[in-house]
Chains A and B, each alone.
Chain A
């Protein structure tokens, strides 16, 4: 009798242990999957930033013959690109990217004054590619933020929140948007 009762208790504990361990494994794997998706989304942003760096020398090369009196603008773009490529750390990089975006906008504003350039097929193609790249960058950031939201929500909701810390997962920060960056250019901490 006593032996049977003890066996039953042991069985119940064993069952509980299996259930808890199984839940932990599923939770852990789920979080790892989400974190990997997050890292992939982050890498996508870099891919698109590189795409922009690669386009700029082409653009400068195409327009420079027409724009002999606008060397300042071209130099600014080239310098901004160099600064962005060599930027260290997320905050500095975000600032450099913002400067580059501004310089490119200025360049295209100047192009508007040159009818030949505006009608030039290469320039038009490059302008389309840069517009697209700006969109890609902001969509890649948006997708990253969507993933941050999913990851953080999983992390902070019951019952995952009970063990997320123990398993070594911490909430991620959102990527602040460009608009906010422009409002407070010095304070932003972009990751």
Chain B
């Protein structure tokens, strides 16, 4: 991989992510249109698809952050009890020029962290007690800088949009497949053969759309993780600390019990260590940790990355 310098990387990341999001919305429309066509109204299908997306987006927009925090069993950080953590969050917020996000603590010895909230004013950062205990102050600062970068770069809002689009596609195809399988079928198709062809297309879309949506979502997620790593290095001017923190988190044998498949992509290092989450390249939500560490170390000695 060639190095483009920090600002080049950030620009490239933004460009690619925007393109991916556009493709995803197109895919949602296409799925709706194709499934709708099988029932006799492509426009109707399109409308239903976009309406489903809008409803899911509204839920995510106003409740998404709290839902994720509740799912992980976090508690509000206390200035006395979690003094260093609260301080580190406030320090990095100063470097980023955003109001300090609410800080939450997950009582779990596995080191990890995530950020949520639709914009810097509604942002929340959750950190496990394991992270605070196992990292030194510089490393903790680096991880917090990664999370604050997600907040400042509006990644949370962006990934929510992507997740909602993917969810809407899954919902639609699920519904359509069930309906077709239970023999409801399109009633309006006058010609049996044309109807059969339409059903075939609809089934194909129903199979392919969710899979390609997931692949795209994972690609967007990987881009945003890389961008957050680079932004964190820009904030702390100390990429080595983040590289070391990532290595420590990766090497830690503990399993984060609070995480599940739905919340896993939000964390700094994917906490779900099953085969499918880790091994399949196309569905990875995070770039391989070794790759992230290599990129961070290449910032210290320009041109050292291969």
- Residues of chain A at the chain B interface (Cβ within 8 Å): 41, 44, 48, 125, 128-129, 131-132, 135-136, 139-140, 142-143, 146-147
Contact = CB atoms under 8 A, between A and B. Distances in A.
B97 A132 contact: no
B87 A142 contact: no
B83 A125 contact: yes
Interface in B279-299: none
Nearest to B234: A146
B11 to A, nearest CB: 15
A143 B90 contact: no
A143 B87 contact: no
A139 B87 contact: no
Interface residues of B, number: 14
Interface in B118-157: 137, 141
The 7 closest A-B pairs by CB, nearest first: A132-B87, A139-B95, A135-B91, A139-B94, A143-B97, A136-B91, A140-B94
Given A132-B90, A140-B94, A143-B94, 13 more contacts: A48-B94, A125-B83, A128-B83, A128-B84, A132-B84, A135-B87, A136-B91, A139-B91, A139-B92, A139-B95, A143-B95, A143-B97, A147-B97
B230 interface: no
Contacts of A41: 97
B88 interface: yes
Contacts of A131: 87, 137
Contact of A129 (B87, B88, B94, B95): B87
Nearest to B138: A135
Contacts of A125: 83
12 contacts: A44-B94, A128-B83, A128-B87, A129-B83, A129-B87, A131-B87, A132-B91, A139-B91, A142-B95, A143-B95, A143-B96, A143-B97
Contacts of B92: 139
Contacts of B16: none
A125 B91 CA distance: 16
A123 to B, nearest CB: 13
A3 B306 CA distance: 70
Contacts of B4: none
Contacts of A135: 87, 91, 141
A129 B97 CA distance: 20
Interface in B49-101: 83-84, 87-88, 90-92, 94-97
B237 interface: yes
Contact of B237 (A44, A140, A142, A147): A142
Nearest to B96: A143
A99 B91 CA distance: 23
B155 to A, nearest CB: 20
Q: Which of A41, A125, A136, A147 has the most CB of B within 10 A?
A: A136
Contacts of A140: 94
B88 A132 contact: yes
Contacts of B95: 139, 142-143
Q: Which of A132, A139, A147 has the most CB of B within 10 A?
A: A139
A146 B95 CA distance: 9
B153 to A, nearest CB: 15
A81 to B, nearest CB: 21
A39 B78 CA distance: 32
A10 to B, nearest CB: 43
A129 B83 CA distance: 8
Nearest to A45: B94
B84 A136 contact: no
Nearest to B236: A139
A143 B87 CA distance: 17
